[in-house]
Amino acid sequence: MPAAEEIQGTPGAKDTQLIDQQEDTIVQSVIKKFLDRSALGHKKYGTTLDRTDLKALDWIQHAQEELMDGILYLERLKKEMTPPK
């Protein structure tokens, strides 16, 4: 993983105070999941999010579908965690 100094050089990061990633295992875990998901998507679909064949409305549709799946997963967990009446 890049050092905090390298990340600070990225656009939009100049106003963000970054801590050493070795100190934040939660951030490390999320970054790893993003990288793993990107690799899986590239393997499965043969492209990355840098693709240019989709229009803005296509991206919105994809996002809506992903968020709807997330709502279903949350509802499933709520049902599992709610005691019977």
Residue 44 shares a structural domain with residue 64: no
Burial label for 18, CB within 10 Å (0-12, 13-18, 19+), is middle
pLDDT lower than 50: segments of the chain: 1, 4-5, 15
Residue 61 shares a structural domain with residue 73: yes
Residue 23 shares a structural domain with residue 43: yes
End-to-end CA distance of the chain: 49
Residue 46 shares a structural domain with residue 22: yes
What's the pLDDT at 13? 55
Residue 19 shares a structural domain with residue 59: no
Residue 2 shares a structural domain with residue 43: yes
Residues near 48 by beta carbon (within 8 Å), at least 6 away in sequence: 38, 41, 42
Q: Which helix (H) or strand (E) holds 11?
A: none
